[in-house]
């Protein structure tokens, strides 16, 4: 195979959107898939950098390009990076229509579209051409190339509902970009910042294989790269079939698009599943030293297939896409995702599912959760806690499908100091990091699992007996000062509410508070609501009963 010249460098965004680069999104590339959250995160990050670090460079990511044979233009097929590139293409159209300064409008329009000039023999040309479907090109011409196209809000809302994935997402992107940008202060200065401080690194070649062998050149030039970028290059660079290269580049971009900023986190889960020990260096060195040099995986297709497989595993068992998972499993995973500060429990769940699918997975998760929560709440240090998770990974590796019960009943790997655990949760827990988790776990234990515990944006821990009751309140009659001091921050006196705390409600007497809870003025979680509904008063005796019930339930081994 012949190798062409490789160009690799970094460019500010205004140079990427200049006559030096004309882009083609080839037919084999996936649709435009960025969602509202991706766009909001990008604008938030850019605007934060503009307001706080406007003299510093801002790294946007990488472009992998293949030069076409077009002799009239510096034209490139986009092999990698089209989602972010398209987002800026749409953003410049929105900014053009929001800004009033004629010079800014003209400049932004030139970034999007080159008008024909017969005298200079310059043909019309748009910055990015989409070969995906004709309808996408029609959409671009009407809403992006045409002046004031992004102001057609009602029409864009109709386009957003169309079945064509690219058109639907592009229409949504324009609407979200307008919403995010129209109220921003110093919008003209913000555009200057994006043009001159936002950087893209790119590699271009006329040979697809060479394009993915780029990172030694970029590293030599001191251009910042993520571990994921380099891993991608190392592995796709090992492929020698153009069709395979394009296929795996597309897979990688899809996976990266799903995880966004959390992609390195996902790759670290994969690393942990393979290595089963604590990471000592950065992600890239871990792959090179502990995986490739140790012969656990080979670079290229084997690694790429492994990552693709575990992306599917993550989607099925952590994002709960597998329809065979029980509601009990889904609820336990959900409270673990909400309540645990560490994610070291995720690789064992992924590895178990990859090996055994849903066979006994409810029992496994219950054992894993009790071990992870038990060690954390009992005050075990982070290194032995991580080692415990790695021991579970090793045990999974050594177990075959016929011996799953032996794994689940292995007391060595799931051992917890239950007495210490009970001691910790019996004390004042309100200010502890695990208070919210304990109350979530109670909801799980008390629930019938007909409802999936999800969709809560705000979860707060609320006192029933207030921290500072009024002197004339029923609380002062029902509790001595010593009793109040003893019970206020105990778990029995705490409930979860799924709205932000309302300080005006917190000092009400119990009967008023109970009415507010039960009528939905404060959205108390179901388990607590049922208990409160059964009580006409909230006294030390009631708290003793509830404390005993909660400790017994929480400390019960699965």
Half-sphere exposure of 48 (CA within 13 A, CB side): 6
Pair (165, 183) in one structural domain: yes
- Write out pLDDT tens, residues 80-111: 888 889 999 999 999 999 999 999 999 999 99
The answer to whether 251 and 308 have CB atoms below 8 angstroms apart is: yes
Pair (277, 372) in one structural domain: no
Pair (41, 183) in one structural domain: yes
Query: Whose CA is closest to 374, among 311, 437, 316?
Result: 437
Pair (19, 44) in one structural domain: yes
Handedness of CA 411, 412, 414, 420 (dihedral sign): positive
- Write out pLDDT tens, residues 242-301: 889 888 988 888 888 788 778 889 999 999 999 999 988 888 889 989 999 999 999 999
Domain count, the chain: 4
Q: Which two tokens stand for residue 190?
A: 């913000």
Pair (181, 68) in one structural domain: yes
Q: How far is CA 518 from CA 292, 464, 478, in A?
A: 59, 13, 22
Domain that holds residue 400: 327-416
For residue 541, tell me if it sits in a domain: yes
pTM summary value: 0.73
For residue 322, tell me if it sits in a domain: no
Assess whether pLDDT exceeds 90 at residue 41.
Answer: no
- Write out pLDDT tens, residues 338-387: 899 899 999 999 999 999 999 999 999 999 999 999 999 999 988 899 99
Q: What is the pLDDT of residue 450?
A: 56
Pair (524, 441) in one structural domain: yes
The answer to whether 208 and 239 have CB atoms below 8 angstroms apart is: no
For residue 447, tell me if it sits in a domain: yes
Give the other-Cβ count within 10 Å of 245's Cβ.
19
The answer to whether 327 and 305 have CB atoms below 8 angstroms apart is: no
In this structure, the strands spanning 22-25 and 128-130 are parallel
- Residues composing the chain: 558
Q: How far is CA 118 from CA 75, 342, 343, 443, in A?
A: 21, 63, 61, 72
Q: Exposed, middle or buried: residue 462 (CB in 10 Å: 0-12, 13-18, 19+)?
A: buried
Buried b (16+ CB within 10 A) or exposed e, 229-242: bbbbbbbbbbbeee
Assess whether pLDDT exceeds 70 at residue 222.
Answer: no
Pair (196, 52) in one structural domain: yes
Pair (58, 190) in one structural domain: yes
Pair (333, 462) in one structural domain: no
For residues 501-508, average pLDDT: 61
Assess whether pLDDT exceeds 50 at residue 1.
Answer: no
Name which of 57-61, 95-99, 143-147, 427-431 the model is least confident about: 57-61
Of 195, 220, 245, the residue that ends a domain is 220
Q: Which two tokens stand for residue 14?
A: 């205004």
Q: pLDDT class for 447, splitting at 50, 70, 90? A: confident
- Write out pLDDT tens, residues 454-503: 655 578 888 889 988 888 889 999 999 999 999 999 999 998 887 655 55
For residue 446, tell me if it sits in a domain: yes
Pair (96, 150) in one structural domain: yes
Q: What is the pLDDT of residue 521?
A: 46
Pair (242, 382) in one structural domain: no
Of 390, 416, 442, the residue that ends a domain is 416
- Write out pLDDT tens, residues 99-149: 999 999 999 999 998 876 555 555 678 888 887 656 888 999 999 999 999
Pair (54, 135) in one structural domain: yes
Q: Where are the alpha helices (DSSP H) in 237-321?
A: 242-259, 263-275, 283-286, 301-317
Handedness of CA 282, 286, 287, 292 (dihedral sign): positive
Q: What is the pLDDT of residue 439?
A: 92
Assess whether pLDDT exceeds 80 at residue 212.
Answer: no
Q: Which two tokens stand for residue 341?
A: 């500060």
């Amino acid at each position: 195979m012949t190798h062409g010249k490789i160009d690799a460098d970094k460019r500010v965004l205004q140079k990427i959107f200049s006559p030096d680069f004309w882009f083609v999104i080839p037919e084999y590339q996936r649709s435009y898939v960025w969602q509202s959250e991706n766009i909001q995160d990008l604008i938030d990050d850019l605007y934060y950098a503009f307001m706080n670090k406007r003299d510093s460079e801002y790294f946007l990511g990488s472009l992998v390009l293949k030069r076409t044979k077009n002799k009239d233009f510096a034209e490139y097929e986009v092999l990698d990076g089209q989602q972010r590139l398209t987002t800026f293409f749409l953003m410049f159209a929105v900014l053009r229509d929001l800004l009033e300064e004629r010079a800014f409008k003209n400049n932004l329009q030139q970034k999007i579209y080159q008008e024909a000039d017969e005298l200079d023999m310059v043909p019309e040309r748009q910055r990015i051409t989409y070969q995906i479907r004709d309808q996408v090109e029609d959409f671009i011409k009407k809403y992006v190339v045409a002046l004031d196209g992004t102001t057609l809000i009602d029409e864009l809302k109709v386009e957003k509902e169309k079945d064509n994935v690219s058109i639907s997402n592009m229409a949504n992107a324009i609407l979200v970009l307008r919403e995010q940008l129209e109220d921003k202060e110093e919008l003209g200065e913000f555009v200057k910042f994006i043009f001159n401080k936002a950087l893209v690194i790119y590699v271009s070649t006329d040979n697809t294989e060479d394009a993915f062998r780029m990172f030694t050149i970029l590293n030599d030039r001191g251009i910042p790269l993520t571990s994921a970028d380099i891993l991608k290059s190392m592995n796709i660079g090992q492929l020698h079939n153009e069709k395979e290269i394009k296929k795996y580049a597309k897979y990688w971009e899809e996976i990266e698009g799903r995880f966004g900023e959390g992609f390195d986190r996902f790759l670290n889960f994969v690393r942990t599943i393979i290595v089963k020990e604590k990471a000592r260096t950065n992600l890239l060195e871990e792959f090179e030293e502990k995986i490739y040099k140790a012969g656990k995986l080979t670079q290229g297709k084997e690694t790429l297939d492994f990552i693709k497989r575990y992306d599917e595993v993550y989607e099925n068992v952590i994002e709960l896409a597998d329809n065979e998972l029980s509601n009990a499993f889904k609820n336990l995973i959900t409270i673990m995702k909400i309540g645990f500060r560490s994610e070291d429990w995720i690789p064992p769940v992924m590895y178990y599912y990859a090996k055994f699918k849903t066979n006994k997975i409810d029992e496994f998760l219950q054992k894993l959760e009790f071990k992870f929560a038990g060690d954390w709440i009992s005050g075990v240090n982070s290194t032995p806690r991580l080692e415990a998770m790695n021991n579970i990974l090793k045990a999974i590796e050594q177990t075959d499908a016929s011996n799953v019960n032996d794994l689940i009943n292995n007391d060595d790997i799931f051992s917890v100091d239950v007495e210490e655990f009970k001691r910790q949760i019996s004390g004042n827990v309100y200010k502890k990091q695990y208070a919210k988790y304990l109350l979530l776990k109670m909801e799980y234990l008390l629930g019938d699992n007909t409802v999936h515990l999800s969709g809560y944006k705000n979860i707060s821990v609320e006192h029933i007996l207030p921290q500072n009751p009024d002197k004339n309140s029923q609380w002062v009659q029902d509790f001595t000062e010593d009793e109040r001091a003893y019970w206020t921050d105990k778990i029995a006196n705490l409930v979860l509410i799924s709205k932000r705390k309302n300080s005006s409600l917190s000092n009400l007497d119990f009967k008023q508070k109970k009415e507010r809870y039960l009528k939905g003025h404060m959205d108390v979680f179901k388990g607590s609501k049922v208990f409160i509904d059964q009580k006409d008063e909230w006294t030390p005796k009631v708290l003793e009963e509830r404390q005993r019930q909660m400790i017994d339930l929480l400390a019960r081994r699965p």
